[in-house]
Amino acid sequence: MRNHTKIYHQHFKITPGDWIGCEICNETAVDIHHINPRGMGGSKTKDVIENLMALCRECHVCFGDKKKYKEVLKLVHQNKLKSGQ
For residue 67, give Cα distances in angstroms to 40, 43, 71, 75, 77.
12, 19, 8, 14, 16
Give percent of the chain above pLDDT 90: 72
Maximum C-alpha span of the chain? 33
Q: Is the pTM of this model over 0.85?
A: yes
Q: Can you tell me the distance from the alpha carbon of 55 to that of 29, in angstroms, rounded to the nearest whole number?
A: 5
pLDDT higher than 90, residue 13: yes
Instruction: Tell me: pLDDT of 69 over 70.
Output: yes
Which residues constitute the domain of residue 34? 3-83
Q: What is the pLDDT of residue 41?
A: 52
Number of structural domains, the chain? 1
Q: What is residue 1's predicted lDDT score, i.e. its pLDDT?
A: 81
